[in-house]
Chain A
Amino acid sequence: MLNIKNLHVAIEGKEILKGIDLTVKLGEIHAIMGPNGSGKSTLAAVLAGRDLYEVTEGEVTFEGEDLLELSPEDRARKGIFLGFQYPVEIPGVSMVNFMKTAINEQRKFNNLQPISATDFLKLMREKKEVVEITSNLTNRSVNEGFSGGEKKKNEIFQMAMLDPKLAILDETDSGLDIDALRIVANGVNKLRREDNATIVITHYQRLLEHIIPDYVHVLYRGKIVKSSGKELALELEEKGYDWLKEE
């Protein structure tokens, strides 16, 4: 469903991604690991359509369509979801209004009528359960004053609401306590189907014990330097990244 070929990305003239190749098929889970500053978030943001970054070379197709041509909102409507490493606080915009607007824009795109008030409430309730949100987070402004863990849970909640085809989760596990990690991982697993796919960006092998990846890739200085099965994560945990330099 997702095909990345020789992707080069620069910001302010500085090249950050230096030729990425990656293919994701339906039903798969890919993990991307790599040291700080290697370009993981950049890759995720480019896929979601952040225009801060300039694609200097290469191509990306999603379900056969040129992804790079699309606006961020159209990418989302076609089923791409980015779980932010740093979710943005938006004071004054309520979670409810935010989600209702997002759902309805998606529905409009699919030629559906706006969701009814009761269906929306039902959907909210259902999806809150997926990430075990019990408090009234959804009555507040988007991420405003949320704890680090609550922000991450909120990302998965939004993912559950929007039911994407391809979810890219950028360090959704960072800053989570053990219970929250389990909850988030369970959430991702519950949403997993044969007709969707997930890319998880993480630093910790720990998450991959809950979300079992089909592939693990190492991103190093803007390139994927190694791809392998889930056992690679363990190896990285033990040895760090230095040994890859020699390879």
Chain B
Amino acid sequence: MTTLELQEELAKLYNKNASHIAEDTSELINKHRQQAFEDFKRLGIPSKKNEDYRYTDLMSYLKGEYSYEIAPSKFSVDLDDLFRCDIPELDTFIVLVLNGFYYKQNNPVGLPEGVIISSFAKASIQYPEIVNRHYAKYADTKLDSLAALNTLFAQDGIFIYIPKNIKIDKPIQIINIGFSFKNLRITRRNLFVIEQDSSASLLICDHTLCPRSFITNSLTEIYTGDNASFNVIRMQNENGNSSQISNTFVYQEANSRFSSNTISLHGGLIRNNTFAKLNGEGALNKTYGIFFGDNDQHVANYTHIHHAKPHCESDQLFKGILDGNSTGAFNGKILVDKFVVKTQAYQRNNNILLSKTARMNTKPQLEIYNDDVKCSHGATVGQLDENALFYLRSRGISNQEARHLLMYAFADEVIADIKLDPLRQRMNEMIEKRLRGELARCENCKVHHLGN
């Protein structure tokens, strides 16, 4: 299959289902589809000739036979019971998304006044002013054809709204589940709006709960108002047959603090694109990630941090551990506009290759159009420190355990940044299991083998 063939197939799929796709979303969502379609047709599926996708061979993952569901899947089992997350001591406002659709229309209870956590489709009808103010404003469909594709097919996902002056201590949790009898193409669309002086944290868990292949195109738009604070921790843990392309667009107002910590534990293809625009003075952006690869996995992180106003700070840290024939890529772009002075922009990417056949491509891209900028970037690709390994072994620690300790320590720099104790502990446990070669699922998220 060529990129062109896939593009045509997807266009056909859309044309055939256009009216169904637009059925449950409001006009203010639907009105963006035409432009997105044109952008998608013009841009096509990115091939390796596309500079931003040079190291990500999308087609080798995206080809194949997939179904597409334009209505929520129905199962006789109660997913709420099956997949209740049991992170100890972590009390969250929890919502489930099944194959891209909000599962059961029961919003979490006990939310502070004015806070909304709901289905995206539903929100587009119930809260048109808020949605209209932000929807498709940050996700530039001209920048990335997969973002265009998402806007074209967008039906459901999660909408979060935190009004002014509200601090939610209890984290919000979204569990995205892929669960199907057939290989499935999934589209997810999220919109998170954190208004001025508010703060919240969000945990997103991506799971596939059966061995089918899923191709997920997920797009999230995030707005942080003046002096708002938003922290997103994301754990990607899908089966090795599945592909996930995630576009996250963050728009930050003055003095807002946004941080994300993406833990890519497992998956066939994981491609994360993060676009952040620091559009108010004093904004702070932290984009962190740790990824693990083995077998034939590919994990790519692409960042695009745009300093559009002075006195902002951005900090990127991505670390990767690759084994087997896995490949990884980091492409980190920092863009500082003219006159955007007193900018601080940092970027670091460190990688460990555990096998001779694992490969990592790392590329910083700095575009800085003024002199009053403090900027640093650095990338390393190496092996585990032999001296440290020998030191540990000389104390009676087995080679395997010593390697394990060093990998765990390597990941710790990223994980240590997670502020919520129980969550950090759980992530540590998951990483530990991952490094030991056990699939790191939460206790209640078991793989369910479905018959055909």
Interface centre among A48, A77, A88, A162 (most CB of B within 10 A): A88
On whether the beta carbons of A98 and B388 are closer than 8 Å, the reply is no
On whether the beta carbons of B412 and A73 are closer than 8 Å, the reply is no
Q: For residue A13, give the distance in angstroms from its CB to the closest CB of chain B.
A: 19
Any chain B CB within 8 A of the CB of A205? no
Any chain A CB within 8 A of the CB of B405? yes
On whether the beta carbons of A49 and B401 are closer than 8 Å, the reply is no
Query: Which of A50, A77, A91 contacts B390, CB < 8 Å?
Result: A50
Interface centre among A48, A52, A82, A93 (most CB of B within 10 A): A93
Any chain A CB within 8 A of the CB of B71? no
Interface centre among B390, B392, B394, B406 (most CB of A within 10 A): B394
On whether the beta carbons of B393 and A72 are closer than 8 Å, the reply is yes
* A101 CB contacts on chain B under 8 angstroms: 397, 401, 405
Q: For residue A48, give the distance in angstroms from its CB to the closest CB of chain B.
A: 5
Interface residue range, chain B: 20 to 34
Q: For residue B378, give the distance in angstroms from its CB to the closest CB of chain A.
A: 16
Query: Which of A50, A76, A92 contacts B396, CB < 8 Å?
Result: A76
On whether the beta carbons of A82 and B394 are closer than 8 Å, the reply is yes
Any chain A CB within 8 A of the CB of B14? no
Q: For residue A40, give the distance in angstroms from its CB to the closest CB of chain B.
A: 17
Instruction: Convert B394-410 into 0s and 1s, putting 1 for each residue whose CB lies closer than 8 angstroms to a CB of A.
Output: 11111101100110111
On whether the beta carbons of A87 and B391 are closer than 8 Å, the reply is yes
Closest to B404 in A: A101
* B398 CB contacts on chain A under 8 angstroms: 73, 105
Interface centre among A89, A102, A106 (most CB of B within 10 A): A102
* B410 CB contacts on chain A under 8 angstroms: 92
Any chain B CB within 8 A of the CB of A198? no
Given A93-B405, A97-B405; A84-B399 close (CB under 8 Å): no
* A71 CB contacts on chain B under 8 angstroms: 393, 399
On whether the beta carbons of B406 and A93 are closer than 8 Å, the reply is yes
Any chain A CB within 8 A of the CB of B413? yes
Q: For residue B403, give the distance in angstroms from its CB to the closest CB of chain A.
A: 12
Q: For residue B178, give the distance in angstroms from its CB to the closest CB of chain A.
A: 33
Interface centre among A49, A71, A91 (most CB of B within 10 A): A91
On whether the beta carbons of B394 and A93 are closer than 8 Å, the reply is no
Any chain A CB within 8 A of the CB of B76? no
In the bound assembly, the distance between CA atoms of A101 and B402 in angstroms comes to: 9
Q: For residue A83, give the distance in angstroms from its CB to the closest CB of chain B.
A: 10
In the bound assembly, the distance between CA atoms of A49 and B391 in angstroms comes to: 11
Any chain A CB within 8 A of the CB of B15? no
On whether the beta carbons of B394 and A76 are closer than 8 Å, the reply is yes
In the bound assembly, the distance between CA atoms of A105 and B394 in angstroms comes to: 12
* B405 CB contacts on chain A under 8 angstroms: 90, 93, 97-98, 101
Instruction: Convert A75-113 into 0s and 1s, putting 1 for each residue whose CB lies closer than 8 angstroms to a CB of B.
Output: 111000110100111111100011001100110010000
* B393 CB contacts on chain A under 8 angstroms: 49, 71-73, 76
On whether the beta carbons of A90 and B396 are closer than 8 Å, the reply is no
On whether the beta carbons of A92 and B413 are closer than 8 Å, the reply is yes
Any chain A CB within 8 A of the CB of B387? yes
Query: Which of A84, A92, A106 contacts B391, CB < 8 Å?
Result: A84
Instruction: Convert B299-318 into 0s and 1s, putting 1 for each residue whose CB lies closer than 8 angstroms to a CB of A.
Output: 00000000000000000000
Any chain B CB within 8 A of the CB of A42? no
Any chain B CB within 8 A of the CB of A158? yes
Given A90-B406, A105-B401; A49-B394 close (CB under 8 Å): yes
On whether the beta carbons of A102 and B406 are closer than 8 Å, the reply is no
Q: For residue B219, give the distance in angstroms from its CB to the closest CB of chain A.
A: 34
In the bound assembly, the distance between CA atoms of A97 and B395 in angstroms comes to: 13
In the bound assembly, the distance between CA atoms of A90 and B412 in angstroms comes to: 12
Closest to A91 in B: B409
Closest to B386 in A: A52
In the bound assembly, the distance between CA atoms of A50 and B410 in angstroms comes to: 23
In the bound assembly, the distance between CA atoms of A88 and B390 in angstroms comes to: 9
In the bound assembly, the distance between CA atoms of A190 and B262 in angstroms comes to: 50
In the bound assembly, the distance between CA atoms of A88 and B394 in angstroms comes to: 12
In the bound assembly, the distance between CA atoms of A101 and B397 in angstroms comes to: 7
* A73 CB contacts on chain B under 8 angstroms: 393-394, 396-399, 402
Given A92-B408, A92-B413, A93-B409; A102-B397 close (CB under 8 Å): yes
Given A98-B395, A105-B396; A88-B412 close (CB under 8 Å): no
List 4 additional contacts besides A73-B397, A93-B406; criterion CB under 8 Å: A76-B394, A88-B390, A102-B397, A162-B395
B-side interface residues toward A, CB under 8 Å? Answer: 385-388, 390-399, 401-402, 405-406, 408-410, 412-413
- Provide 12 A-B residue pairs closer than 8 Å at the C-beta atoms, listed in order of the A residue: A71-B393, A73-B394, A73-B398, A76-B394, A87-B391, A88-B390, A90-B405, A92-B412, A98-B395, A102-B392, A105-B396, A105-B401
10 tightest Cβ-Cβ pairs between the two chains A and B: A92-B409, A76-B396, A72-B393, A88-B391, A102-B395, A92-B412, A93-B409, A77-B396, A73-B393, A90-B388
